[in-house]
Every structure is written in structure tokens, then in C-alpha cells.
A and B are shown apart, each in its own frame.
Chain A
Amino acid sequence: MYSFTNYNILKPDEKMFVGLNNYTRLLSDSVFQKSILNTLYFTVLVVPLQLFFALGLALLVNKKMKGMKFFRLAFFSPTILSLVVISMLWSYIYNPDNGLLNAMLQSFHLPPQPFLTSADQAMNCLIIMSAWQGAGYQMMIFLGGLQDIPEYLYDASSIDGATSVQKFKYITLPGLKNISLLIIITITISAFQLLIQPMLMTGGGPLDSTVSIVYEIYQYGYKYRDMGYGCAMTVVFTIMILAVALVQKKFLTEKDD
């Protein structure tokens, strides 16, 4: 039971009570501020992207055809890989000199991209990779939700002459609302936890463009052994997550009429 209750014990007084020193230090730490921006950027893009993938894939595999199981597994497979494996694999895919993507681009006579070595593209690369990895998990949850929507709603609307688009808009989407909320919150919380990808793939660079909050927590708390400071960051991190989760919950359930 160690893991649960104590993230407050080590607030800025590791060996010596330093009061709010750590927090004021945070306020002027530009790298930490960058990490917040980066993490927010990552989250804001990853959530819709992964949601889109997951929902799209779920809709595609929600047919009662034999062999569907194979496709579901195929789309789900990236999620069982460890982040270490995925980070290493995609480092080679994204490698600007002899990576798979640039090789493919070249064979189509398109210009090679700097990917992870460019401050502009690096984060986007991580975003796409992470959305790819996580989509399968949410796809399964969406599938469950889709299958919970009663058939007769669709049949009745067919009788009324509804088109597939209308069916989607008025039956499918509302039926998925609760699940979507859960999924959005889940992806958001996972997105905030971004750590392994920058750690293994970019080391936070280039130019600190891929530094995430948890990466900073790890650096200070573990590598530099500056526990007090790291914990102060952790507190900020936790407050942010809670705030975001609550905001999402409020904002997305208000639409319930």
C-alpha cells in the first residue's frame, strides 16, 4: 500500500524547510514553463487525433463479418508493445539520414524531412506516433460502446428513410457520448504522462521542444536528486491533471439535455 497516500509528505522540505522556495523557483524556470507548454501542445493534438483514429477504426471493424477479429487484433497490436520498443522502432523510422520514412519519401520523389532533429517537427512526430500506439486501446472501448447501441434505433430510422450520415449523427454519436467522455479523459491523462518517448527518442531536444512535464520531474527528482523541487513540480502536475479532468467532465457533460 505504499504507493497511495503520500505525495504531500515531501513538499518543499526534504531536509530543510524551505517554504515556498521551490514554487517560486518554478515560476522563473523557463524550461519548466516550456515543458508545460509542450505537454499542453502534445495533449491538445494527441487527444483528438487518437480519438479520431479510435472511433474511425471502431466503426470500420464493427461489422459482423468473419475475419473481423483479425482486423481488430491488427489495429490493437501497437498497444501491447512497450513504449521502449515503440520509441526505439520509430526512432529508426524517423531517422533523417537512413530512416524508413525518408527512404519511402525519396522513392516517391518527395523531399526528406528532418523529423526528430527539427524543433518544429519533433513534437509532431511524437504526437503521431503516440496516437498510433494508443488508438487500438480506445478502439476496443468504442467497439463495446457501439455494440451497446440498440439495433432497433437504426432499423427504425431506416424505415423513416434516414441516410447513413444522419444515422451516425443522431444515433451513433449521442449513444457514444458517455464513452467518449471517458475516453477523452483517459487519453488526456495518459498524454500528460508523456515521458518515455522524449526520454528515449530526443532527450528533450531539439531546443527543448520535446521536454514534457514528467520528463522534468524525472530529471530533477531522480537524476539531479533535487527531490524537493521535483516534488513541487509533481504537485503542479497533479493539480493540472485534476483541473483538466474536472473541466473536461463539466464541459462535456453539460451538453446533456
Chain B
Amino acid sequence: MEQNNKSKGRTAVYCIFLLVLACIFMFPLLWMVVSSFKSDTAIYSDMTSIKAFLLPFTDFSPFNYSNVVNKYPIIHAAFNSFSYILVIIVLSEIVNSMAGYAFARLKFPFSNAIFSLIIMLIIVPIQTIMLPQFVIVYNLGWVNNYMGLIAPVIANCLYIFLFRQTFLNIPAEIEEAGVIDGANEFVIFFRLVIPLVKPTMATVAILNFIGMWNDFVWPTMVITSPDLQTIQMALSTMFQVKPQILGEIMAGLTIVTIPVLFIFLFLQKYYVQGIASTGAKN
């Protein structure tokens, strides 16, 4: 009995320790969200004390949010981002799942060699192809056009790899049953097979969304007119405008983070799974 109390005590202490550590670790985020609800004078005066991290119960000021939305084209940019990312996700699911399926099931010449190449290309950093890709996009007339953002990212080596692995783990009997039933059109295959890989499709959709939502360099290179800006681009313009109202910037940062945070909190199962599988790939 004495041991029970002891270990309960130890657990409690450990939890408190972790809590403190977590707070310290998350201090920038806490500060960001809390400051987004304060007026600038409050932010600056609170900075020297613990109040920097506490929600202002007396001085609660959601005006930063309304100001930000009115002054900067954040909503418009968010809409832009959502639209083109949606297109990317749909196309990406189709293309990458089909490719993964082909590598898993079909025997075609050089399939192993090509697949090894694909695996190696997973680690190629985007900066390596950043410039040539830009030249290509430029010559295709896709600069300042969402095609320039969508086309280069649809086929993705990592997702092809993930799909192939998933397909390999699914017994072929289901498809054989489909053939026996006389369904040998690809469309029907996709009604049979695709539902089996829904978790992978969820993972790919999530990784795609978060990756594309947070992408900054490539859209900056491709998009030149403010009208078509993506969300990260719009955010960075806030940074250049003077005078800077800190509270509004914090509100902007928080707004931009919300969709990703949302996905992360409610769909973490798939997200973490995706990370685990990228870890397992080696």
C-alpha cells in the first residue's frame, strides 16, 4: 500500500514536470495565440511578465482578427489555397494510387528498376529541381497560373511508395473474385480496390494538404500577381507592411495555422501513421 502511494506521487510529479516542460516548449505558440487577443500596448507591457502567456480576461480584444481580415486579403488567399490544394489532392490520389497499384500488381518490363529509381527520388530535396522546374513551368506559360502550382506536385514518389506498400499487403483474391464475376474494366476494379486502401488515401490527403498549405517558396516563385496569392504568401506580405501592429500579425499567424491545427487534432491518427510510414521506409 505504501508503494502505491509512492508511485502515485511519483507519477504526479512526473506529470507536473512534463507539463512545465510542455509549456516551456510551447511558449512561442502560447504567446502567439494569447497576443492575438490583446491590443498592442497590452502586448508590449505584458512582455516582461508571465502575463505574456495568459489570456487577457479583462482586456479581451478580438478586434485584431476583424482588422486583419479587413486590411489584408487573408480570406481571399485562404480561398485560393483551399481551391488549388483541393485539386491537387484529388488528382494526386488518382495518379499516385494508380501508380502504386501498377507497381504492386502488374508485371511490366523494368518495373523493379523504375521503382527503385522512384524510391531514390524520394530523398531528392526540392531545391535541387527548384530552378529547372521553374524554367519548364515558365516555358509552358504556367507562371502566375495555378497550373504551375498543381502540375509539378501531383505525382509524388513518396505517395506512390505508400500506395504500393498498401497494395502489396492486400491479398489479390478480391480482385480475382472481381474478374470471375466478369468485371474486368478498370472502373469496376477501382470500386473494389480503392475502398480497401482508404487509410492510405486519408494519409496521403492529409500529408498533401499540410504540405501544400504550408508551402511558401514554390508559390512565391510561380505566382506574381497579388490576386492569386496563396495563404503563406499573403501572410508574408503582412510582415513587410509598416507600421506593424503586433496583435494583428499574431492574429494573422493564428488564422493561418487553424486549418492545419484542426486537421492535426482531429485526424492525427492518419497523420501520425503517415509519419511512421515515412520513417519506416528505410
Chain B residues in 8 Å Cβ range of A78: 25-26, 28-29
Contact status B210-A80, CB under 8 Å: yes
Residue in contact with A106 in the complex, picked from B48, B132, B261, CB distance below 8 Å: B48
Chain A residues in 8 Å Cβ range of B221: 222
CB distance from B51 to the nearest CB of A (A): 11
8 closest Cβ pairs, A-B complex:
A82-B214, A103-B47, A141-B279, A221-B131, A74-B22, A107-B48, A84-B232, A103-B48
Chain B residues in 8 Å Cβ range of A89: 28-29, 31-32, 253
From A2, A140, A196, residue with most partner B Cβ within 10 Å: A2
CB distance from A181 to the nearest CB of B (A): 8
Stretch at the interface among B62-70, B105-113, B150-158: B150-158
Q: Which residues of A contact B (CB under 8 A)?
A: 1-4, 6-7, 9-10, 60-61, 63, 65, 67, 70-71, 73-75, 77-78, 80-86, 88-93, 98-100, 103-104, 106-107, 132, 137, 140-141, 144, 178-179, 182, 189, 192-193, 195-196, 200, 214, 217-218, 221-222, 227, 230-231, 234, 237-238, 241, 245
Chain B residues in 8 Å Cβ range of A103: 47-48, 52
Give CA–CA (A84, B28) in the complex, Å.
14
Contact status A6-B210, CB under 8 Å: no
CB distance from A108 to the nearest CB of B (A): 9
Chain A residues in 8 Å Cβ range of B217: 195-196, 218
How many A-B contacts if CB must be within 8 Å?
176
Contact residues of B: prevailing secondary structure:
helix
> Given A189-B123, A222-B134, list of 15 further CB < 8 A pairs?
A3-B155, A10-B132, A71-B18, A73-B265, A73-B268, A78-B29, A81-B257, A82-B216, A85-B235, A88-B235, A104-B47, A140-B276, A196-B217, A200-B239, A241-B128
Give CA–CA (A75, B235) in the complex, Å.
24
Q: Which residues of B contact A (CB under 8 A)?
A: 11, 14-15, 18-19, 21-22, 25-26, 28-29, 31-32, 44, 47-49, 52, 121, 123-137, 151-153, 155, 157, 210, 213-217, 221, 232, 235-236, 238-239, 246, 249, 253, 256-257, 260-261, 264-265, 268, 272, 275-276, 279-280, 282
Contact status A77-B26, CB under 8 Å: yes
Residue in contact with A238 in the complex, picked from B31, B128, B152, B264, CB distance below 8 Å: B128
| CB-CB nearest in chain A for B261 | A80
Q: A140-B275, A144-B279 are in contact. Are A6 and B239 (CB under 8 A)?
A: no
CB distance from A96 to the nearest CB of B (A): 13
Chain A residues in 8 Å Cβ range of B15: 65, 67
Give CA–CA (A214, B240) in the complex, Å.
22
| CB-CB nearest in chain A for B127 | A214
Q: A67-B15, A140-B272 are in contact. Are A245 and B123 (CB under 8 A)?
A: yes
CB distance from A227 to the nearest CB of B (A): 6
Residue in contact with B232 in the complex, picked from A82, A100, A217, CB distance below 8 Å: A82
Contact status B18-A237, CB under 8 Å: no
Contact status B151-A7, CB under 8 Å: no
Contact status B132-A92, CB under 8 Å: no
Residue in contact with B257 in the complex, picked from A85, A178, A222, CB distance below 8 Å: A85
22 inter-chain pairs at a CB distance below 8 angstroms, sorted by A residue, are A1-B155, A2-B151, A3-B126, A4-B124, A6-B132, A10-B131, A60-B18, A61-B18, A63-B14, A75-B22, A77-B29, A88-B238, A88-B239, A91-B239, A99-B47, A104-B48, A144-B279, A192-B125, A193-B126, A214-B127, A217-B131, A238-B125
Contact status B133-A3, CB under 8 Å: yes
Contact status A241-B210, CB under 8 Å: no
| CB-CB nearest in chain A for B238 | A88
Chain A residues in 8 Å Cβ range of B232: 82, 84
Give CA–CA (A75, B18) in the complex, Å.
10
Give CA–CA (A202, B132) in the complex, Å.
26
From A74, A75, A245, residue with most partner B Cβ within 10 Å: A74
CB distance from A219 to the nearest CB of B (A): 11
From A4, A6, A78, A182, residue with most partner B Cβ within 10 Å: A4
Contact status B128-A144, CB under 8 Å: no
Chain B residues in 8 Å Cβ range of A6: 129, 132, 136
Give CA–CA (A74, B22) in the complex, Å.
6
Residue in contact with B130 in the complex, picked from A73, A104, A234, CB distance below 8 Å: A234
| CB-CB nearest in chain B for A67 | B15
Chain A residues in 8 Å Cβ range of B246: 92
Chain A residues in 8 Å Cβ range of B155: 1, 3
Chain B residues in 8 Å Cβ range of A221: 130-131, 134
Contact status B152-A231, CB under 8 Å: no
Contact status B31-A100, CB under 8 Å: yes
CB distance from A177 to the nearest CB of B (A): 13
Contact status B257-A4, CB under 8 Å: no
CB distance from A237 to the nearest CB of B (A): 7
Contact status B235-A84, CB under 8 Å: yes
Give CA–CA (A35, B121) in the complex, Å.
25
